Structures are given as C-alpha cells and as structure tokens.
Amino acid sequence: MEVIIAAPDELARLAAGAIEKLILARPAAVLGLATGSSPLGIYDELVRRHEEGGLSFAKARAFMLDEYVGLPADHPERYRNVIEKEIAGRVDFAPGAVRGPDGLASDLPASCAEYDDAIAAAGGVDLQILGIGTDGHVAFNEPGSSLASRTRIKTLTEQTRADNARFFGGDIDQVPQHCLTQGLGTIMRAAHIVLIATGRAKADAVHQLVEGPVSAMWPATVLQHHPHVTVLVDNAAASRLQLADYFRSTYAAKPVWQGL
Ligand SMILES: N[C@@H]1[C@@H](O)[C@H](O)[C@@H](COP(=O)(O)O)O[C@@H]1O
C-alpha cells in the first residue's frame, strides 16, 4: 500500500496521470469509476487531458461501483446520471462502454450476478478509482460487509444516508434506503486500486484503512490484503496517520521512473 500525502490538485493529477499512462499503454483498458465528491478533481483532470492533450477513451470500458435502488431513470442523483454528467458524457467513451449496476432491475439479485459476470468477461478492472465513506465504507459496502462479498443489494446506514443527504436537498428522507454495490471481493479483483480521500472528516477512516486491524467494521481495511493499492490523501485526511512522516519522506524520495 503506497500512501501519498499531497495537495488535492496534485492528488488529482497523480491519479489522472496513472489512468492516462494505462490508456496509452492499453487503449482498451477497463476502468472502475466511483461516484461521490472525492473523484471529481480526477475527472476534471481527465477531461482536461482529453480536451487539451487528445487523451481518448474511445476503446476503453468502465464499470461503476454502485447505484441506488429505485431512483427514477431521470433522477439527477441516480449514479448512472452522475457518472454521465461528471465524466462519461465529457469524454469520448463509446455508447454502452460505461456500465453500472441496475437499480431498476426487476430481478435485483440476478442483475447483480450478471454484473459481476460482465466485469469478469471484460477481463476485470485494470484501475479502480475509490473514495471512502466517513465510516470506512467503500462503494456502498457498509460496516459489517463480508470481506469476500460480491455485487449485491445492501441497506444504507443512517450515517451514509445523512452524509449523502447533501445531494438530496439536505433531506435524508429523500436518500434511498437500499443500494446495489460491487462487493469487497469484487473490488479486490481489480489490478490496481487508487483510493482518494480529502478533508478532516475522512481522517479516522483513513487511519483505520492504513493502520487499523483488518475488520469488517472498517470495510476499506480489506485493501491491506491487495497487492497494489495507492492511497491519495491531503493533509487533513492524513491528520490521524501515525506514519504520516514516513509516508511524506517516502514520497519525497520516490524514484521518478516509478509511477503509481
Ligand atoms: N457510494 C459512495 C462511495 O463510493 C463514496 O466513496 C462515498 C464518499 O463520498 P464523498 O467522496 O462524497 O465523500 O460516498 C458514497 O457513499
């Protein structure tokens, strides 16, 4: 696990740079896209590189992490619509190249199983962007999630619904109670995971993720078992890390050839 502590704009450039490098090496790369506010700087940087540098996603594919259950197809907070607005519709993905769990499927368990199969059939995710919730959830794998879980339906915690109420006019009652989410076991199959977290509200979750014991109580800690994870955090999100000085000196001494 590599932990990089830097300013948010530098974190976004680092993640976008890793994605650009991947796509240049492998135009048909499979990306894992996350919702939430944390990846927005990365998406803006990718759009900039697309518009100014010709970075093309025309052959790439992408899988989203999660989706609310039951939000109408045209609801602005439906994650498919959010991803379309924030990244997919701003670059040149081919039609149908970006997929997400179907929160309107008539048979939710079957559509979840099909989704995992589709990711596997695409060859798996090459680079997965991840955020983290204040309670340590990744995607919508809330505390108590099986560390081996696959894509499935979950019930959101009150904490997550309260955190996400800001996207629903501040009204927690408008936040759906159920979601579909890639499981922790699904996410762990990605070749490279890039998790980004900024702000003091994430400091406890980041501390647990990096330095805590692996536990379903802090679902992101499963990433300690993954061979290639990059954790990108700003000073505030890093403020509870006991190893912060070590991570800073490691980054200062990072070989220029190394990449993420
Ligand atoms: N399902 C999403 C997660 O994928 C995201 O990581 C989390 C944090 O969001 P934010 O980045 O806005 O803090 O929010 C939601 O719960």
What is the 91 CA–ligand 1 centroid distance (Å)? 22
Decide if 138 is inside a domain: yes
Q: Is 219 exposed, middle or buried (CB count within 10 Å of its CB: 0-12, 13-18, 19+)? A: buried
| pTM, full prediction | 0.97
Q: Residue 135: how many CA atoms within 13 Å on its side-chain side?
A: 19
Residue 19 forms part of a structural domain: yes
* Predicted confidence (pLDDT) per residue in 103-149, tens digit: 999 999 999 999 999 999 999 999 999 999 999 999 999 999 999 99
pLDDT by residue (tens digit) across 8-59? 999 999 999 999 999 999 999 999 999 999 999 999 999 999 999 999 999 9
| Residue 166, H or E segment | none
pLDDT for 188 equals 98
Look at ligand 1, atom 10, and give the residue with the nearest C-alpha: 36
Q: 137 an active-site residue?
A: yes
Residue at 258 is within a domain: no
Owner of token pair 């999100």: 237
Per the domain annotation, does 11 fall within a domain? yes
CB atoms within 10 A of CB 150: 18
- d(Cα 22, Cα 17) in Å, to the nearest integer? 9
User: Residue 128 is part of which domain span?
Assistant: 2-252
Active site residue 66: yes
22 vs 25: CA distance, rounded Å: 5
In a domain, 55, yes or no: yes
Task: Quote the ligand 1 centre to 40 CA distance (angstroms).
Answer: 11
Task: Specify the pLDDT at position 58.
Answer: 98
Q: Which atom of ligand 1 is nearest to the CA of 37?
A: 12
CATH number of the domain bearing residue 56: 3.40.50.1360
Q: Is residue 259 assigned to a domain?
A: no
List 86, 126, 137, 192, catalytic entry? 137
- Which atom of ligand 1 is found nearest the CA of 140? 1
The answer as to whether 71 is a domain residue is yes
Report the domain count for the chain: 1
The answer to whether the beta carbons of residues 65 and 34 sit under 8 Å apart is: yes
The β-bridge partners of 155 are 178
Which residues lie closer than 8 Å to 51 by C-beta, 6 or more apart? none
Predicted ipTM? 0.94
Ligand 1 centroid, distance to 257 Cα (angstroms): 32
Where b means 16+ CB within 10 Å and e means fewer, 203-212 reads bbbbbbbbeb
Residues touching ligand 1 (Cβ under 6 Å) are: 34-38, 65-66, 131-133, 139-140, 160, 164
The preferred substitution site among 38, 65, 167 for testing ligand 1, maximizing ligand atoms within 8 Å of CB, is: 38
The band of 204, judged by pLDDT with boundaries at 50, 70 and 90, is very high
Instruction: Ligand 1, residue 132: give the atom nearest the CA.
Output: 6
Q: Among 45, 66, 116, 163, which one carries the catalytic annotation?
A: 66
CA 141 – CA 217 distance, rounded (Å): 10
Q: Are 112 and 153 in contact (CB under 8 A)?
A: yes
User: Which pairing describes strands 152-155 and 178-181: parallel, antiparallel, or unpaired?
Assistant: antiparallel
